[in-house]
A and B are shown apart, each in its own frame.
Chain A
């Protein structure tokens, strides 16, 4: 336990000093600042207004950039250390592989989750100070969704990092995973749906395997299901499942998925040659 926390702490400190972390924090903090400067809380579009609108916009942008940020910065965690022989030296000390691996995951989780979460907290505090009503249910849902999305992509990133032999290869795989989940899967499913060859329910079920799709649908699940912005998948799911059930699923499923990937990654890391 002592060594697990030590590795987590050192990884966290290392990340806080890294340039990518500065850019990462500035992107999410900057988004919130930009929204306030643009007066988004004062405007009303399609029934969204005030902090609800700001949080919804923030989460819609986050869904695109958070996964790729996590993948790119994390995928090099183990493979990069392996590439430059840091792993060889650091693991010459009596530390177990599980402490090293899970310590890295904990440290990296804190690093990637805190800036996106804190940016949202700052938005709420600033909005409240300006007199806007705080949509607490939306805030709590988004905090849970950010936690779940971070978990799932961190798990994927550590799995990739354990498998690949070089960090360049890791970056390539990470980019492919991101673009596949972001758009290719949707395009493929839409074309299947248009051909009417497969039952719609099956297509929706496949869509729901994608943690980014789950996040996207859950992010608008608290709003009126009649809204046109919801899209057919969200409409179908929210028609089929109660709101509460879907919210629970959207937080639990990506978290469990991330843990599963992380465990598979750990098994590969443990069984493969380390350097």
Chain B
């Protein structure tokens, strides 16, 4: 599903990713770990087609994410580490998601309800005015409703209380079959029950990659 070959990304003279090669296949549920600056976020951003690599290649289902961004992103759900301060109200944000990615609004409502988030009462509110936990729950609900084959979560539980985390893990367990799930995390214990592979990165390289 995801093929990364000899990938290098530099920012000026700083090498953020150094000749990384790795494959992620169906039913790989990966904990991607490493210290700050290890290259985890750079790797994710290259997979999403945000960065142009200096060398090497990323292929998502055989497609380059920069040249085929629409086809590639149809199959990817992404939850960032910190919810961005989107000024659209929820109604407009959901319209954007519905129309751009053919996600059904009722599915977003379904997963929001499962995450114990009241969407209906907040539809006219700007996204950035929601509490940190509510924003994160909504982004999770959207990512699940999108029904993608590849799901990327960058420390998704940072703003969630224990109950919401449990709901999130429960929902992930229900849908994880046949998918690639990539969790960027600093703590393996948080996603231990969900993953079957752990990758450690350091200084832009993969230093260990093992099945668990």
B104 close to chain A: CB less than 8 A: no
B84–A84 CB distance below 8 A: yes
Q: Chain B residues with Cβ under 8 A from A93's Cβ?
A: 73, 96-97, 100-101
B27 sits at the interface (CB 8 A)? no
A236 to B166, CA, bound (A): 77
B interface majority secondary structure? mixed
Query: Interface stretch among A9-17, A140-148, A172-180, A242-250?
Result: A9-17
- Contact A95 to B100, CB < 8 A, known contacts A84-B85, A89-B86, A274-B50: yes
> In whole angstroms, what is the CA distance A229 to B69 when docked?
55
| Interface flag for B123 (CB, 8 Å) | no
**Residues of chain A with a CB closer than 8 A to B72's CB:** 94
Question: Quick one: which of A89-138 are within 8 Å of B by CB?
Answer: 89-97
Contact yes or no, B50 A88, CB < 8 A: yes
Closest A-chain residue to B98, C-beta based? A6
A178 shortest CB reach to chain B, Å: 25
Q: Scoring A residues 236 to 275 as 1 if CB is less than 8 Å from chain B, else 0, what string do you get?
A: 0000000000000000000000000000000000011111
Interface residues on B, range: 20 to 34
Q: Is the CB of A89 within 8 A of B78?
A: yes
> Is A43 interfacial (CB 8 A cutoff)?
no
Show the binding face of A for B, using Cβ within 8 Å. 2-3, 6, 10, 13-14, 17-18, 84-86, 88-97, 271-275
Interface positions of B (Cβ within 8 A of A):
45, 48-52, 69-74, 76, 78, 80, 82-88, 92, 95-97, 99-101, 126, 139
A13 neighbours in B (Cβ, 8 Å) = 88, 92
Q: Which residue of B lies closest to A87 (CB)?
A: B84
In the bound complex, CA of A85 to CA of B83 (Å): 8
Q: A14, A85, A91, A274: which contacts B88 (Cβ < 8 A)?
A: A14
Q: Do A273 and B52 have beta carbons less than 8 Å apart?
A: yes
Contact present for A94 and B69 (CB under 8 Å): yes
Residue of A nearest to B45 (CB): A275
Q: Are the C-beta atoms of B99 and A6 separated by less than 8 Å?
A: yes
